[in-house]
Structure 1
Amino acid sequence: MATAFQIQEFDDPTYDPFLSDEVNFGDDLDPYPRIHALRLKGAVLPGSYRENMGYPCFYSGVPKFTVLGNKEAEIVLTDTAKYSNSGYRPTLGATFGMGSISTLDNPEHGRWRKIFQKIFLPQYVRTWGGTIVDPVVHGLMNKFINRGEADLVVEFTQRYPFEVIYHQLNLPETDVHTFQRLAIGQTDYVNMAKAQEAGVKLGEYFKSLIDSRRANPGDDLVSMLATTEVDGEHLPELVLVSFLRQLMNAAGDTTYRGTSVLLTALLQNPDQFEAIRNDRELIPAAIEEALRWDGPVVSQLRCAINDTELCGVTIPAGAYVDVVAGAANRDAEIYPDPDKFDIFRTRRAHYAFSRGPHICVGQHLARVEMTRALHAVMDNLHNLRLDPDKPAPEIRGIMMRVPAHIHVRFDRSA
């Protein structure tokens, strides 16, 4: 479907937003020993998570704290009377827009979230698995299935969740390349001018797209979001545009990272991979364990509304509080032998999708995409194993985690 508005490229066409990942999110191979060492100092520590890990902080001029305990993480993420999501305004708000539900608190947050939840209910999302996700997955795999080898990140996981979004939005093929560059560039907070430029240009594009779909609605996600109402209310344009800006990162980027980590963990633990091959009822457990063991988003931010105290530490009003989900998900008091990837462990709720009223609205779609991807891998890439002649996958980052490559071999299709 064509749009009346031509999507605009970065003013500097040489700028590469894909190189921003390591600068913004770190390049650490294994941050967990340092996270554990911090946890031994206390469940709540002064300083931001990035500062405590030896990286520059994105925000200054306010007190900062790092939360590393499981119980303390639960308190901060669920007690909305004491902790606000407004801390995201200088970053997400500056690029996705101040209408982003990630920056809003109740009552605004609850009012607009109801519309998103209505569209992303599990019964609706499951139907996308067969109509949208499967064709994308198989279309990508068909390009390398007869080769007997592949890089599952570059050729598969890095691409498929984004292509799912293109299909959901029914974007013109001619717009996809520039759209992805702008969407990725929005989170280059080290180069904030570029991030804001991307947000402005995507905002102009989406406003045109919304006008077009409202005039001629279809069954795509933009049409659904533009026309769905709850309690007689439609989404305001500010909130809708902010959500669409964020969709690429919240639904595409995190799913690509989560799926890449899942495949890495299974290939590095072939006995568990074989167990899943023999019993696919284990797939949900494998997905939840991958999200717990090395979830794509290591740290989540909140802001103290009033002076408060947490685990004996005084936190003043306005302080930024980094909740380290990666620490909460590896709390030895909750998860025995927490650094081990084990799909057979007793399942307990994790923090990969956050907790409380801001729990990820797209979590059901993420699970559908990860499930369909794993089924497709087992159905089509027989005798899949890591390529012994190429470097092993390395999951890197302190804020967002992902391997750059997963080199594999498999039996060629007959």
Structure 2
Amino acid sequence: MMTLPKLEDLSDPDFNPFEIEKLSTGHCPDPYPRIHELMQQGSVVTGSYRDEFTDIKDVQRDGVPQVMVLGYEAVMHVLTHPEIFTNREAFMPSLGQAFGESVSVMDAPDHTRYRKIFQKAFLPQVVSKWGETVVDPVVNNLMDAFIHTGKADLVHQFTHHYPFQVIYAQVELEPEQAPVFHKLAIAQLLSAIGAPQGAEATEKLGLFFGQLLKLRRENPGTDLVSHLATVEADGERLPDIVLISFLRQLMNAGGDTTFRGTSALLMGLLTNTDQLDAVRADRSLIPQAIDEALRWEGPVSSTYRYAICDTEIDGVKIPKGTFINLVLASANRDPRKFANPDSFDIFRERKFRSAAFASGPHLCIGQHLAKVEMTRALNALLDKLPNMRLDPDMPPPHMIGHILRSPEHLWVKFDS
């Protein structure tokens, strides 16, 4: 392994972006009663989803015209009409500041060109190989620390670590640099609330990845950065500005969401023991259990688009220049599409795909990797923690947050 460039910490090394980020994601234990009330008002409701649950303002969108779009059909309509509802104007004030020229902030034709290259990099047959070579060693190493104790907090000892450690392994990050890497990745997002550490973190990660790209091009290996630096479609490779922006976003888009999705999956199964027993006995049920977890408690509850022309949604006129606050959670809990939507049920009839990975041209590039990670994590837990169950001596788990949701603890016992 070659020596990587040195990551520079924030100028205030004692600054804790994790605590501030918690304020942004919220402490709401259950936003769904309010989401259902909003859905009763119609597909379009004036206002901001964030403002329904917190007084902490999004400084990058405060004061601009916003509407919430609710319900499965309306949300999917916006996601699948990028010629009307664009990403660039929606995300340049936020993700654009944090990550730069990420594909998340692009519209066609640039988005189409670069996404085609990324898709080649994340083909299912490519990603599946990472499951054995990258994911399994990380999962097994984490479990070795508690496998003989007979009990664990699966959030603090497992789910909150393994997706990030997978990313460290993919870029071959030196272990001593991992804490600063994670801190900077989270701090980038603080530009949304006006914290100066956001821009500082973006600059320092950009410098690091620029130097790393140069090293990998000179000495390519089997790591993710080398792979992305050399993959091409139609003879075109990713330019550095796009690749660096993608790598800046990787911890948040790939690590944080997978941590939350896996935590929701485990909570859904552990609190529905009949379903946990069914999956334990028949591992072919795991894909539908993952799909249900992503529908029931998708890691991201809302996202944005921007109306570039006058239009309408479900008969409601939307003026040009309106920020569209898409409440993905309302699509996933729409009773018109999912019976008993607030229940976790891996056996439910599946006529409709959830909005957990969005839809349309911006369908999540990393969805296959996320499912590989969740599958291998669940299989390992079921294999190595016999009779895994909630710890009756500890408080039961509960989800928290209104934008990014996950349980804070998952205390379990098992036969050691």
Scaled by the length of structure 1, the TM-score of the pair is: 0.97
- Do the aligned residues in 2 keep the contact of 1:34 with 1:53 (CA within 8 Å)? no
Q: Name which of 271, 291, 296 aligns with 2:274.
A: 271
Distance in 2 (CA, whole Å) between partners of 1:4 and 1:333 is: 52
Q: Name which of 168, 193, 200 aligns with 2:196.
A: 193
- 1:173-216 residue CA offsets vs partner (Å, 9 max, x unmatched): 23212111111111223253111111110000000000000000
Q: Is 2:263 the counterpart of 1:260?
A: yes
Q: Name which of 353, 358, 372 aligns with 1:354.
A: 358
Name 1:387's counterpart in structure 2. Answer: 391
- Give the RMSD, CA atoms, in angstroms: 1.1
- Do the aligned residues in 2 keep the contact of 1:48 with 1:57 (CA within 8 Å)? no
- 1:144-188 residue CA offsets vs partner (Å, 9 max, x unmatched): 000001110111000000110111111122321211111111122
Q: Secondary structure at the match of 1:19?
A: helix
- 1:295-351 residue CA offsets vs partner (Å, 9 max, x unmatched): 000001100010111122221112110111100001001001111100000122000
1:7 offset after TM fit, Å?
0.7
- Do the aligned residues in 2 keep the contact of 1:329 with 1:351 (CA within 8 Å)? yes
Name 1:71's counterpart in structure 2. Answer: 73
Name 2:24's counterpart in structure 1. Answer: 24
Query: Which piece of structure 1 moves more, 228-237 or 142-151?
Result: 228-237
Q: Is 2:146 the counterpart of 1:144?
A: yes
Distance in 2 (CA, whole Å) between partners of 1:319 and 1:153 is: 38
Aligned pairs for 1:272-287 (under 5 A) are: 272-287=275-290
- 1:211-235 residue CA offsets vs partner (Å, 9 max, x unmatched): 0000000011101111112112111
- 1:342-377 residue CA offsets vs partner (Å, 9 max, x unmatched): 000012200000000001000000000000011001
Q: Name which of 204, 215, 228 aligns with 2:218.
A: 215
Distance in 2 (CA, whole Å) between partners of 1:90 and 1:344 is: 41
**Structure 2: unaligned runs, 5 residues or longer:** none
What amino acid maps onto 1:11 in structure 2? S
1:3 offset after TM fit, Å?
4.0
Q: Secondary structure at the match of 2:105?
A: coil
Distance in 2 (CA, whole Å) between partners of 1:119 and 1:223 is: 11
Q: Is 2:241 the counterpart of 1:238?
A: yes
Query: Which piece of structure 1 moves more, 240-249 or 175-184?
Result: 175-184
Name 1:205's counterpart in structure 2. Answer: 208
What amino acid maps onto 1:328 in structure 2? A
Name 1:177's counterpart in structure 2. Answer: 179
Distance in 1 (CA, whole Å) between partners of 2:402 and 2:217 is: 41
Name 1:328's counterpart in structure 2. Answer: 331
State the identity %: 52
Distance in 2 (CA, whole Å) between partners of 1:394 and 1:333 is: 26
- 1:117-160 residue CA offsets vs partner (Å, 9 max, x unmatched): 00101011011111110111011001100000111011100000
- Do the aligned residues in 1 keep the contact of 2:26 with 2:53 (CA within 8 Å)? no
Q: Is 2:157 the counterpart of 1:120?
A: no
Q: Is 2:345 the counterpart of 1:307?
A: no
Distance 1:205 1:109, change over 3 A: same
- Do the aligned residues in 2 keep the contact of 1:2 with 1:171 (CA within 8 Å)? no
Distance in 1 (CA, whole Å) between partners of 2:19 and 2:386 is: 33
Name 1:372's counterpart in structure 2. Answer: 376
Distance in 2 (CA, whole Å) between partners of 1:177 and 1:249 is: 14
Scaled by the length of structure 2, the TM-score of the pair is: 0.97
- Do the aligned residues in 2 keep the contact of 1:69 with 1:331 (CA within 8 Å)? yes
Distance in 1 (CA, whole Å) between partners of 2:167 and 2:327 is: 28
What amino acid maps onto 2:129 in structure 1? T
**Structure 1: unaligned runs, 5 residues or longer:** none
Q: Secondary structure at the match of 2:146?
A: coil
What amino acid maps onto 1:296 in structure 2? P
- Equivalent residue pairs, number: 411
What amino acid maps onto 2:353 in structure 1? A
Distance in 2 (CA, whole Å) between partners of 1:94 and 1:315 is: 26
What amino acid maps onto 1:282 in structure 2? L
Q: Secondary structure at the match of 2:321?
A: coil
Q: Secondary structure at the match of 2:347?
A: coil
Name 2:92's counterpart in structure 1. Answer: 89
What amino acid maps onto 2:152 in structure 1? A
Name 2:407's counterpart in structure 1. Answer: 403
Aligned pairs for 1:293-304 (under 5 A) are: 293-304=296-307
Query: Which piece of structure 1 moves more, 13-22 or 140-149?
Result: 13-22
Distance in 2 (CA, whole Å) between partners of 1:55 and 1:269 is: 35
Distance in 2 (CA, whole Å) between partners of 1:356 and 1:187 is: 25
- Do the aligned residues in 2 keep the contact of 1:394 with 1:404 (CA within 8 Å)? yes
- Do the aligned residues in 1 keep the contact of 2:4 with 2:174 (CA within 8 Å)? no
Distance in 2 (CA, whole Å) between partners of 1:42 and 1:237 is: 44
- Do the aligned residues in 2 keep the contact of 1:126 with 1:368 (CA within 8 Å)? yes
Q: Name which of 131, 151, 168 aligns with 1:129.
A: 131
